[in-house]
């Protein structure tokens, strides 16, 4: 407990998350180095069951497991009643989820070097990252796609910093490293916290001569329940094809926009009113019986790939032109997709019209085609997984 308090103190006293986020990339790395210097002699400690910063008691594990059983993974159509926790249950649930994490660097479990899980990408070195979800305790949804995404992003970033090492990374080189990192992290997380769905974020960084693979495993959490709202605002990314950790710092202000209105996501829009993607999601609308979503200027998520395949099977037309704000009244429905959300129908869209007036477009009831596609993804995603070695 004393070590935990000491670590917590040195991590939080170095600088606030807001100050880190607003600094340049160079300053962020300098702040990161200061953090490690302050942490000093604690850094060498490895995670084990007696000294883990994230370890919870067996009572805590049983408690959170029983709370999680209150809500099953279901479609929006089936979620007619929201699960209600007592105040005590809710506080216990939130407190335990904050402590549940496993951190792996280059295949070895280590003490987590940040004050909160959000700081992993915000304060770490700039690099290529991807976020996956587990399927059970020993498989990862669309694992191969995540390997390919890291390779593609690394090569794109290599063009900016002229890194020969990063430009030559390959799937053949990176795949076994991710298998090891995911496998070690998932196994330790399951041993510590029980059999539950996991959110697995991997950051690939590099120096002149070598790569560093860091993986953070945390509870996946629950899918949002209806009503789900999104906010339109913010410009599209300059390089949407690259999943660069710098984007997690750049989007902080927009994330605050979503929180202010209790929205699940912010949808990026250009000056002509074309809607591209969310901060962490792909965005779609149903218009004239067809699915419409941007085909360019976006990062194509793993769920998006499955969705387009399901549209072809169900003979649902697809229009790859970005949805336009001035056509919103003709939309039958809207939804977003991501690793954690899978396919999530949107019931409210907040936006500002040309005159500066704030408005809200509502979809009630939810469109039947949107609900069909949601269920198809829920039924299929477990089959699109790769068993991870040594788990």
**Range scoring the smallest mean pLDDT among 200-204, 207-211, 272-276:** 207-211
User: What is the average pLDDT score of the chain?
Assistant: 78
Structure tokens at 81: 């009643």
**Stretch 358-375: mean pLDDT, rounded?**
95
Structure tokens at 269: 């829009």
The residues, any chain, with a CB within 8 Å of residue 166's CB and separated by 6 or more, are 154, 155, 157, 158, 206
Q: How far apart are CA 47 and CA 112, in angstroms?
A: 8
Beta bridge pairs of residue 135: 139
Give the model's pLDDT for residue 36: 39
Share of the chain above pLDDT 90, in %: 50
Q: How far apart are CA 7 and CA 77, in angstroms?
A: 45
3-state secondary structure of 110: strand
Give the start-end residues of each E strand in the chain.
102-105, 108-110, 128-135, 139-141, 198-206, 211-219, 229-232, 265-269, 275-278, 282-287, 290-292, 318-319, 331-338, 342-346, 348-352, 358-362, 385-387
Identify whether the C-beta of residue 131 lies closer than 8 Å to the C-beta of residue 247: no
Identify whether the C-beta of residue 362 lies closer than 8 Å to the C-beta of residue 347: yes
**Stretch 350-372: mean pLDDT, rounded?**
92
Residue 269 clears pLDDT 70, i.e. is over it = yes
Prior bond to 365 cis, omega within 30? Answer: yes
Residue 110 clears pLDDT 90, i.e. is over it = yes
Residue 59 clears pLDDT 50, i.e. is over it = no
3-state secondary structure of 333: strand
Identify whether the C-beta of residue 103 lies closer than 8 Å to the C-beta of residue 110: yes
Residue pLDDT, tens place only, 68-105: 434 445 566 655 445 566 766 666 555 555 679 999 99
Residue 67 clears pLDDT 60, i.e. is over it = no
Q: How far apart are CA 70 and CA 359, in angstroms?
A: 35
Residue pLDDT, tens place only, 127-161: 999 999 999 899 999 999 999 999 999 988 888 77
Identify whether the C-beta of residue 117 lies closer than 8 Å to the C-beta of residue 123: no
Split at pLDDT 50, 70, 90, the class of 248 is low
Give the model's pLDDT for residue 45: 35
Residue pLDDT, tens place only, 317-359: 999 999 999 999 999 999 999 998 999 999 999 998 888 889 9
- In terms of pLDDT, which residue wins out, 34 or 343? 343
Give the model's pLDDT for residue 77: 64
Q: How far apart are CA 142 and CA 130, in angstroms?
A: 12
Residue 186 clears pLDDT 70, i.e. is over it = yes
Q: How far apart are CA 75 and CA 67, in angstroms?
A: 20
Q: What is the DSSP letter of 41?
A: G
Give the model's pLDDT for residue 184: 96
Query: How many other C-beta atoms are found inside a 10 Å radius of the C-beta of residue 39?
Result: 19
**Stretch 21-33: mean pLDDT, rounded?**
40
Structure tokens at 381: 């995603």
Residue 229 clears pLDDT 90, i.e. is over it = yes
Q: How many whole angstroms from its chain centre is CA 154?
A: 18
**Range scoring the smallest mean pLDDT among 161-165, 217-221, 311-315:** 161-165
């Amino acid at each position: 407990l004393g070590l935990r308090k000491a670590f917590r103190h040195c991590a939080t006293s170095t600088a606030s998350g807001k100050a880190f986020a607003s600094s340049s990339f160079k300053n962020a790395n300098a702040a990161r180095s200061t953090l490690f210097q302050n942490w000093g002699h604690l850094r060498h400690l490895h995670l084990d069951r007696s000294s883990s910063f994230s370890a919870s008691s067996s009572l805590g594990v049983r408690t959170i497991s029983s709370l999680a059983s209150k809500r099953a993974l279901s479609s929006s159509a089936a979620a007619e009643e929201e699960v209600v926790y007592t105040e005590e249950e809710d506080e216990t649930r939130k407190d335990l989820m904050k402590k549940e994490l496993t951190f792996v660097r280059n295949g070895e479990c280590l003490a987590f070097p940040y004050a909160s899980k959000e700081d992993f990408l915000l304060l770490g070195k700039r690099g290529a990252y991807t976020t996956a979800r587990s399927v059970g305790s020993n498989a990862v949804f669309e694992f191969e796609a995540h390997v390919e995404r890291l390779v593609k992003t690394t090569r794109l970033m290599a063009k900016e910093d002229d890194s020969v090492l990063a430009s030559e990374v390959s799937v053949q080189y990176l795949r076994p490293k991710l298998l090891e990192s995911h496998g070690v992290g998932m196994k330790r997380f399951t041993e510590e916290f029980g059999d539950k769905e996991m959110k697995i974020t991997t950051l690939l960084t590099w120096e002149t001569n070598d790569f560093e693979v860091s993986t953070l495993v945390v509870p996946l959490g629950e899918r949002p329940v209806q009503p789900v709202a999104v906010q339109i605002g913010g410009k599209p990314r300059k390089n949407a094809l690259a999943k660069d950790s710098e984007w997690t710092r750049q989007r902080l202000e927009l994330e605050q926009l979503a929180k202010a209105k209790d929205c699940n996501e912010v949808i990026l829009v250009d000056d002509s009113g074309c809607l591209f993607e969310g901060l962490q999601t792909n965005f779609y609308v149903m218009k004239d019986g067809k699915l419409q979503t941007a085909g360019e200027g976006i990062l194509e998520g793993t769920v998006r790939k499955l969705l387009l395949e399901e549209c072809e099977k169900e003979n649902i037309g697809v229009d790859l032109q970005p949805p336009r704000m001035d056509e919103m009244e003709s939309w039958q429905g809207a939804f977003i997709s991501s690793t954690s959300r899978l396919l999530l129908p949107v019931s409210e869209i907040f936006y500002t019209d040309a005159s500066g007036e704030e408005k809200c477009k509502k979809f009630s009831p939810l469109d039947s085609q949107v609900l069909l596609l949601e269920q198809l993804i829920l039924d299929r995603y477990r089959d699109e997984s790769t068993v991870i070695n040594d788990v």
